[in-house]
Amino acid sequence: MSFAKHWWFEGVAVALLWIGLNLFFVDGMERDLAAATRAALLVEGAGTQARGRDILLSGVAPTSTAADEAEAAILRVPGVRRVVGRLTERPVLEVSSVEVAKPGVAGGVERDVTPYVFTARKEAGAIRLGGYFPAPSVRVAATDLLARFSPGNALIDEARSGHGAPERFEEVVPLLLAGLSRLSEGVATIEDKVVSLRGEALYENAALAIVRTIQQGLPAGYRFDSTLSVQHAAPPLDPAACQQEIRAVLASETLLFETAEAQLYDSSLAFLDRLVVTLRRCPAIDADIEGHTDNIGDAATNLDLSQRRAQAVRERFQSAGLPAERFRAVGYGETRPLVPNESGEGRARNRRIDIVIR
C-alpha cells in the first residue's frame, strides 16, 4: 500500500514537470516562429498559430524567393523538425502545417519525396515549372538561367520545395533547361535519375546538338531519353524580304560574347537558332557577317576582336548546316557606330553583329 502511494505521488510530480516544460517550450517556440516568419516575409499579415505539435503559417509573399526564405527561417527555429506543404507567392501564402518535434521526443522524422520529379514545359510563349526543388539556391539558379536563355518567355513557377533529390540534381536542372530553351515547344522531366526531353527543335542540326550536349553533360548514373521532332520549314524568301526578316530578328535580341573574347555565351544559342532558321529560308543569297565594337580600348585590338567575333558566328552557321561559302566574316572594329559612344547604352548598341546581304 505504501509503495502504491509513493508511486502515485511520483507520477503526479513527473506529469506536472512535463506539462510545465511543454508549455514553456511551445510558448518560446511560438514567439521564435512569429519573429522568424515576419522577418523572412517582409510583408503584412504574416502570422503563426500553435495547434498542438503543429504550427499554422499564413501571410502574403511577394515572390517565390521570399516564400523559400520564410521556410528556411522557420526551419532554423529550435524544435522545428520539418515544413509540411508549401509556401507560395500566388497571391496569398498558403496555410502550411509545420510539425514540431520537442527535444528528446521520437517521431516527426522528415520523409523524402518519392519519386523525386521535376518538370518544365515550354509552350504558348511561357515556361511552366512543376515538381520539386531541393533548396532555394537551386530554384534561383534555374529561374535566372531561364531569364537569360529564354528572355521572350513568361516564367510560371509552380514547383514546390521537397527533400530527397538525387545526387547532383542541381547540375542536371540547368543542363536540361538550356536544352529546352532551344526548342520551339517541349517538355523536360527529371524523375529520380531518369532525364527526358520531348519537343520540337527548329532544325535538324539543332536537335542533334541539344541531345549531344545533354548526353555529354549528365553525371554518371543518370539516363537520358529524348524524342525531338523538327519544325516544318517555312516558304523561301526573296532577297529583300530575307534582309527585312534578318533585321527583325537581330533587333529582337543581342548576341552575347565573353568579355573581350570571341566566345559566344551559351545563352545566345537559342537566338542563333532563330537566325539560322531565317537564313535557311534564303537559299539564294550570299551575305557578310559584320562584327562591330564600341570605342573603349585600342582601335587595333577592337578591329581584331570584331573580326574574330564575326568569324565565330560564321562557324556557328556552318555547324548548323549552312554552306560556309555563302558567308563572309568582316570586322569593322569601332569604325561604324550606330550611335555616339557617349553613354553605356550607346556603347552597348554599337557592340553588335550585323548580317548584310551582298
CATH 3.60.150.10 fits 239-357, yes or no: no
Nearest to 162 by CA among 195, 190, 135, 193: 135
- Mean pLDDT, rounded, for 132-161: 95
Q: Which residue has the higher pLDDT, 234 or 1?
A: 234
The pLDDT value given to residue 303: 96
For residues 49 and 21, give the distance between their C-alpha atoms in angstroms, rounded to a whole number: 19
Residue 250 cell numbers, joined: 537581330
% of the chain beyond a pLDDT of 70: 69
For residues 180 and 186, give the distance between their C-alpha atoms in angstroms, rounded to a whole number: 7
Nearest to 214 by CA among 278, 266, 257, 265: 266
For residues 208 and 220, give the distance between their C-alpha atoms in angstroms, rounded to a whole number: 21
For residues 290 and 87, give the distance between their C-alpha atoms in angstroms, rounded to a whole number: 50
pLDDT at 264 over 60: yes
**How remote is the C-alpha of 317 from its chain's centroid?**
27
What pTM, to 2 d.p., does this model score?
A: 0.67
- Please say whether the beta carbons of 208 and 216 come within 8 A: no
* Least confident range of 39-43, 211-215, 313-317, 334-338: 39-43
In terms of Cβ atoms closer than 10 Å to its own Cβ (0-12, 13-18, 19+), residue 349 is: middle
The pLDDT value given to residue 121: 98
Q: Predicted confidence band at 101 (pLDDT cuts at 50, 70, 90)?
A: very low
pLDDT at 286 over 70: yes
- Mean pLDDT, rounded, for 215-230: 96
Mean pLDDT across the chain: 80
Q: Give the other-Cβ count within 10 Å of 51's Cβ.
A: 8
Amino acid identity, position 60 = V
For residues 2 and 263, give the distance between their C-alpha atoms in angstroms, rounded to a whole number: 90
The pLDDT value given to residue 79: 64
196 DSSP 8-state letter? E
- Residue 284, SS3? coil
- Residue 281, SS3? coil
pLDDT at 203 over 90: yes
Nearest to 72 by CA among 88, 83, 59, 57: 83
Q: Predicted confidence band at 94 (pLDDT cuts at 50, 70, 90)?
A: very low
- The per-residue b/e assignment along 173-205, b for 16 or more CB within 10 angstroms, e otherwise, is bbbbbbbbbbbbebbbbbeebebbbbbebbbeb
Residue 8 cell numbers, joined: 502515485
% of the chain beyond a pLDDT of 90: 57
- Mean pLDDT, rounded, for 267-295: 93
DSSP H or E run through 59:
strand 54-59
Q: Predicted confidence band at 190 (pLDDT cuts at 50, 70, 90)?
A: very high
The pLDDT value given to residue 141: 96
Domains 117-230 and 239-357 share a fold: no
The pLDDT value given to residue 21: 44
The pLDDT value given to residue 36: 53
- Please say whether the beta carbons of 72 and 115 come within 8 A: no
The pLDDT value given to residue 261: 87
pLDDT at 46 over 90: no
Give the architecture (CATH level 2) of 117-230.
3-Layer(aba) Sandwich (3.40)
* Least confident range of 36-40, 127-131, 190-194, 275-279: 36-40
* Least confident range of 79-88, 157-166, 296-305: 79-88
Rounded to 5 degrees, φ, ψ at 158 are: -110, 10
Q: Give the other-Cβ count within 10 Å of 338's Cβ.
A: 11
Q: Predicted confidence band at 177 (pLDDT cuts at 50, 70, 90)?
A: very high
Peptide bond into 115 cis (omega under 30): yes
pLDDT at 70 over 70: no
The residues with which 123 forms a beta bridge, in sequence order, are 126
Nearest to 131 by CA among 92, 164, 160, 109: 160
Sequence ranges of the domains in the chain: 2-100, 117-230, 239-357
